Amino acid sequence: MDGPVEEQIAAWREFVTARAVMAGDAVELEAHLRDQIDGLEASGLSGDEAFLVAVKRMGRLDELSREFAREHSDRLWKQLVVGGATATERPSTGLALAVALAVGAGLAAQLPRVFGLTYSTAPEVFVSNLPVLVLPFLAAFLMVRRSARIGTILAVAVPFVAAALILNLYPFATDGATFVLASVHAAVALWIVVGIAYVNGDWRSDRARMDFIRFTGEWFVYFVLLGLGGGVLIALTVGLFSAIGMDVTRFVEEWMLPCGIGGAVVIAGWLVEAKQSVIENIAPVLTKVFTPLFTILLLALAVAGLIQGNLVDSDRDLLILFDVTLIVVLALLLYSLSAREPAAAPGWFDRLQLVMVVAALVIDVLLLIAMIGRIGTYGASPNKLASLGLNLILLVNLAGAAWLQFGFVRGRVAYGRLERWQTSYVPVYLVWAVVVVVVFPPLFGFV
C-alpha cells in the first residue's frame, strides 16, 4: 500500500487503540481492514477510495470503526480531494469561504470606528474587543464546514454576545485592573467557546476535546508563521514608503495590523483544516525540541526560587512572567499529549515530561507562597486574587498530571486516563475565566 493509505491506517489504529482496545484486538481489526482495502483495490478503486469504503464497511462490524468514520469523514474526503482529483472534479476545500470570512474578520476589527472611535484615541477599545469581533468568523468557518446544528450555533453565539455586552457596558474605570483582567480572560473563554464550534457541540467527548487541543496547537503554529510573514510585509511597507518620503506608520498601525490579525485568525484555521498532514508531521518534532529546553528552564527557575527563598518582595512583573511560563509549559504538555501515539510504551520522553511537570509544580508552589505573602503584606487586589486563583487551578492540574504521569511511566496507569484528566480539566479554565470576566469587575467596584 502507498504512503498516504498507510498514514490513514496509522490514524485509524491510533484512534481505536486510544479507546482502550487491547493490542491483540487492534491487530486483528487492522488485518481485517487491510484485507478489505486489498479487495477493493483489486476491484479498481484507488488506495484512498478503498480506505474510505473499507472503514465504512468496518463500521458495520465494529463500533469504534463506525465512530472513526463518523468523526473523520470530513478529513477523509479532504484527503481524497487533495490526493489528486482534477481541477474540474475537485470539490470545495473551504478556501473561498475562509477568504470571505477572513475579509469579514479584518473589517470587523475596525467596527469601533462606526462609533466614532479611532485606534489613536481609544486603543483599549480596539484591543479588548478584538477577540469578540474576530473569533466569531473563525467559529462561523468551522460551523459551516461541519453543518452545525442550531443548538451548537446558539451555544457559540450567546457567549460572544454576552462578552461584547460586558466589555462595553460595564462601567470600568479608565485603565482599571478589572478591565484588563476581563479583556484577557474574555479572550481565553471565547477561544474555548470556539472549541464548541470545532467539535460541533460534542464537548462532552474526551476525544473531541483532545482534537480541539491539537487544533489549538496547530492553529498557533500557523498563526505565528503568518505573523512572521506579516511582520516582514509591514517592515517592507514602512521601509519602501519611507524611502520615497511617505510616512505610512499610522496606516500600518490603525488599518494594516488589526485587519491583518483578523484575517490571519481565520486563515490559520483554514490551513489547519486543509493542510493537516503537514503540521501533524511537524508537531512531534516541535514537542521533542522544546520540551527538554523548557524542562531545563523550569529546573533553573526552581533552583533560583529556592535559593532566593522569599519571593514576596519580588517585582510583580517577575511573578507575572513566572505565571506566563507555567501556562506555556502547560500548553506544551497538552500539545505533546495530543501528538503522542497512545499505544506506544512509556519511554525517555515521557520520563522527561514527568520531570518538567514536577519542576512546574515546585515553581507553582513557590508562586502560591509568594502570592499569599503579598496579599497578607499589601492586601488583596483584583490582580492578586486572579493570579492566586489561576495558580490554585494550575496546582491541581499539575499535581494530577504528575501523579498520573508517574503511574504511566511505571506501567500502572493507562495512557487514556492521563489524556482524560487533561481534557476533562479544560472546562475548569473556562469557568474560572468566566468568573473573572463577570464577577470580578462588580466585586471590586470596576476599579
In contact, 53 and 40? CB cutoff 8 Å: yes
Mean pLDDT by 10 residues, the chain (447 residues): 74 68 64 73 67 68 56 49 45 81 95 88 90 96 91 95 95 89 95 94 84 87 91 91 88 91 94 67 73 87 74 68 85 81 82 92 88 85 91 94 92 87 92 96 92
One-letter amino acid at 217 equals: G
CA atoms within 13 A on the CB side of 90: 13
- Note the pLDDT of residue 367: 86
Q: What angle do CA 428, 223, 86 make, to 5 degrees?
A: 115
Query: CA dist 158 to 85, 153, 201, 220, 279, Å?
Result: 40, 9, 14, 25, 32
Provide the phi-psi class of 22: left if phi over 0, else alpha when psi is between -120 and 50, else beta: beta
In contact, 7 and 403? CB cutoff 8 Å: no
Which residue, 351, 234, 248, 252, is CA-closest to 295? 351
- Note the pLDDT of residue 272: 86
- List, as one string, the DSSP characters of 190-205: HHHHHHHHHTTT-TT-
Can you tell me the distance from the alpha carbon of 408 to that of 405, in angstroms, rounded to the nearest whole number? 5
One-letter amino acid at 395 equals: L
Total residues belonging to the chain: 447
